[in-house]
């Protein structure tokens, strides 16, 4: 699919997706009879099967499933009964932090080890010489997939997708799916590779893959815009948690003895305070004696990368996934893999609530080109830094020119696929007339 073919959809603009609360009093509508039953509410049915019968053993877990909810402070999540209840079955990571605001850069970070200066939710693409966790996994033949609720088909490229409103049949179609929460699609290394695109899967594919015993080893799950709490409330998200995740916890095809499930949120709702989010390590791989306990080690979204690297002795991306301060490995995994976490005293913790300050190739106020990763870095997995084709190894961070304010030159960064308004605010193309 070419980028140009998608731009017409980007002609309909919205000021912002950040309309949280607009429909807050909604009651939860289950999209199906259960998480393993395919439904017409998801636009298209699964029509292909993965072939993941081979299991690569990890040191602590053989499967990791991340489920990301949206825009909620730690305190709000922990005081919501369904989330609070679940902590009894897992290890609560009380000092887990998002890395910036708003949503999209957080998702991008968890895949590529950096947010590259990104400070908004507009449509971008990251060139194919930039590596992601997928490169590290495939190098060791570890299967992977992302499941995106209400994405209409495998590897859908558009910025959002409006489907019939299954919660209210007399309401207009609804943008349940958004690309800003599907970070693998932002990376050309994934989105321009047909074999990898098959692993960008729908929720009907999830049912298919579980029932047919082909659920991969690395799994990233994004509920839709109502179920993740983004357009609704934490109580709505809690109902989804009970509908979708809770039954799967007792299903061996999903949660076996060596499955780690990370339930977390992309970012804290209150930007003026530290970006601490609820994060719960669940699943058979979390030892029983840890259930109902807490761990106050400093973690971030980069920790999900370093933990995976440590578990399967992978290489690294040579970016923030190898920055020891921000990439502690989940301690119960670090203990078994011999990785030494760093202790960061509370008063020395970096501020993760900053936005719009990091120069980078996706920041038009402070633009710098994409730099090579730190080739000398050694991450938690001990392996070398992964190099993708087309990477200029000598274009290191130190060699970059000073940041340029492209915005004041009335230019967009080369990787931006949607324009900005004259006021300087990014406009988010949105095929949804509701979102203005
Ligand atoms: C679609 O969702 C609605 C709302 O929960 C539900 O009533 C309906 O049964 C669902 N359709 C299918 C095919 O499951
Ligand atoms: C957001 O994170 C901060 C810092 O960890 C935490 O103190 C606060 O409780 C969170 N926000 C709310 C309102 O819960
Ligand atoms: C199944 O295949 C059809 C035809 O190629 C496509 O339109 C549809 O979106 C596919 N479904 C999924 C889940 O990809
Ligand atoms: C369903 O949508 C219609 C049309 O937007 C609206 O008037 C009605 O209040 C909605 N019903 C509920 C229960 O939200
Ligand atoms: C299992 O796979 C078969 C063949 O691909 C498919 O027809 C079936 O619908 C799948 N089961 C579920 C529950 O999706
Ligand atoms: C980030 O949070 C700290 C307190 O944790 C606060 O002092 C600071 O002003 C916040 N920064 C922004 C940009 O809101
Ligand atoms: C590592 O992370 C800290 C905290 O965000 C930051 O101050 C530091 O610059 C980072 N180091 C590198 C080499 O990126
Ligand atoms: C990566 O590729 C892009 C696009 O070709 C190029 O602009 C950039 O300089 C490259 N960066 C490195 C470090 O190779
Ligand atoms: C690679 O980067 C170096 C350092 O910036 C530069 O001098 C060189 O021309 C680049 N090579 C290519 C092929 O772009």
- What percent of the chain stands above pLDDT 70? 89
Angle value at C-alpha 218, between 153 and 370, nearest 5 degrees: 80
Tell me the C-alpha distance between 222 and 237, whole Å.
Answer: 12
Whose CA is closest to atom 13 on ligand 6?
354
Q: What is the pLDDT of residues 199-241, one digit of tens each?
A: 999 999 999 999 999 999 999 999 999 999 999 999 999 999 9
Cβ-Cβ contacts under 8 Å for 251 (sequence gap 6 or more): 36, 210
pTM over 0.85: yes
Ligand closest to the CA atom of residue 24:
4
| Residue boundaries of the structural domains of the chain | 61-399
Q: What is the pLDDT of residues 319-351, one digit of tens each?
A: 999 999 999 999 999 999 999 999 999 889 999
Residues with CB under 6 A from ligand 7: 323, 325-326, 350
- Which of 130, 360, 370 has most ligand 8 atoms within 8 Å of its beta carbon, as the pocket-test mutant? 370
Average pLDDT over residues 384-409: 96
Q: What is the pLDDT of residues 272-317, one digit of tens each?
A: 678 889 999 999 999 999 999 999 999 999 999 999 999 999 999 9
Tell me the C-alpha distance between 57 and 404, whole Å.
Answer: 46
| Contact by Cβ (8 Å): 217, 169 | no
Tell me the C-alpha distance between 284 and 295, whole Å.
Answer: 18
25 — pLDDT class (breaks 50, 70, 90): low
| Contact by Cβ (8 Å): 249, 290 | no
> For residue 424, how far is its CA from the centre of ligand 2 (angstroms)?
30
- Which of 187, 192, 369, 416 has most ligand 8 atoms within 8 Å of its beta carbon, as the pocket-test mutant? 369
Q: What is the pLDDT of residues 183-201, one digit of tens each?
A: 999 999 999 999 999 999 9
In angstroms, the Cα distances linking 5 to 110, 303, 341, 392 are 28, 36, 46, 29
For ligand 9, what atom is nearest to the CA of residue 399? 5
Q: Is the pLDDT of residue 17 over 50?
A: no
Q: Residue 201 burial (CB < 10 Å; 0-12/13-18/19+)?
A: buried
Q: What is the pLDDT of residues 42-100, one digit of tens each?
A: 999 999 989 887 899 999 999 999 999 988 878 788 889 999 999 999 999 999 999 99
DSSP codes joined into one string, 282-319: ESTTS-GGGTTEEE---EEHHHHHHHHHHHHT--B-SS
Looking up tokens 């590259």 gives 116
Catalytic residues: 231
> For residue 371, how far is its CA from the centre of ligand 8 (angstroms)?
7
Whose CA is closest to atom 7 on ligand 6?
273
Q: What pLDDT is recorded for position 418? A: 67
Whose CA is closest to atom 1 on ligand 3?
47
Q: What pLDDT is recorded for position 77? A: 86
Q: What pLDDT is recorded for position 272? A: 67
> For residue 409, how far is its CA from the centre of ligand 9 (angstroms)?
25
For domain 61-399, say whether CATH 3.40.720 is its number. yes
> For residue 76, how far is its CA from the centre of ligand 2 (angstroms)?
9
Q: Is the pLDDT of residue 406 over 80?
A: yes
| CB-ligand 9 contact for 395 (6 Å cutoff) | yes
Looking up tokens 């070419």 gives 2
């Amino acid at each position: 699919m070419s980028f140009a073919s998608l731009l017409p959809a980007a002609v309909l603009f919205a000021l912002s997706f950040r309309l949280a609360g607009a429909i807050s009093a909604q009651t939860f509508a289950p999209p199906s009879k259960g998480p393993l039953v395919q439904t017409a509410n998801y636009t298209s049915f699964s029509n292909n099967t993965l072939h993941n019968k081979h299991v690569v053993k990890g040191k602590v877990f053989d499967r990791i499933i991340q489920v990301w909810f949206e825009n909620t402070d730690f305190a709000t999540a922990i005081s919501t009964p369904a989330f609070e209840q679940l902590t009894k079955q897992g290890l609560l990571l009380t000092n887990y932090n998002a890395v910036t605001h708003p949503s999209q850069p957080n998702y991008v970070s968890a895949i590529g080890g950096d947010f590259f200066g990104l400070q908004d939710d507009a449509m971008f693409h990251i060139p194919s010489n930039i590596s992601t966790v997928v490169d590290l996994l495939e190098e060791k033949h570890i299967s992977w997939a992302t499941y995106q609720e209400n994405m209409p088909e495998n590897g859908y490229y558009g910025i959002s997708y409006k489907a019939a409103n299954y919660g209210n049949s007399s309401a207009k179609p609804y943008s349940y799916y958004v690309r800003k929460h599907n970070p693998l699609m932002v990376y050309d290394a994934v989105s321009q590779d047909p074999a990898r695109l098959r692993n960008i899967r729908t929720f009907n594919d999830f049912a298919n893959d579980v029932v047919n015993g082909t659920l991969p080893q690395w799994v990233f799950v994004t509920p839709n815009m109502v179920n993740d709490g983004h357009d609704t409330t934490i109580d709505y998200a809690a109902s989804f948690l009970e509908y979708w995740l809770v039954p799967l916890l007792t299903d061996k095809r999903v949660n076996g003895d060596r499955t780690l499930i990370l339930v977390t949120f992309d970012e804290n709702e209150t930007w003026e305070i530290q970006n601490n989010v609820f994060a719960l390590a669940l699943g058979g791989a979390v030892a029983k004696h840890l259930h109902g306990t807490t761990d106050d080690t400093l973690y971030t979204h980069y920790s999900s990368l370093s933990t995976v690297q440590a578990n399967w002795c992978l290489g690294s991306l040579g970016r923030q996934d190898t920055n020891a301060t921000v990439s502690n490995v989940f301690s119960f995994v670090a203990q078994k893999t011999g990785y030494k976490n760093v202790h960061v005293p509370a008063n020395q913790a970096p501020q993760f609530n900053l936005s719009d300050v990091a120069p980078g190739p996706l920041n038009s106020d402070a633009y710098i080109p994409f730099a090579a990763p730190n080739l000398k870095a050694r991450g938690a997995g001990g392996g070398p830094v992964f190099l993708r084709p087309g990477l200029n190894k000598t274009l290191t961070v130190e060699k970059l020119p000073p940041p340029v304010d492209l915005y004041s030159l009335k230019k967009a960064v080369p990787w931006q696929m949607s324009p900005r308004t004259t006021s300087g605010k990014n406009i988010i193309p949105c095929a949804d007339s509701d979102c203005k």
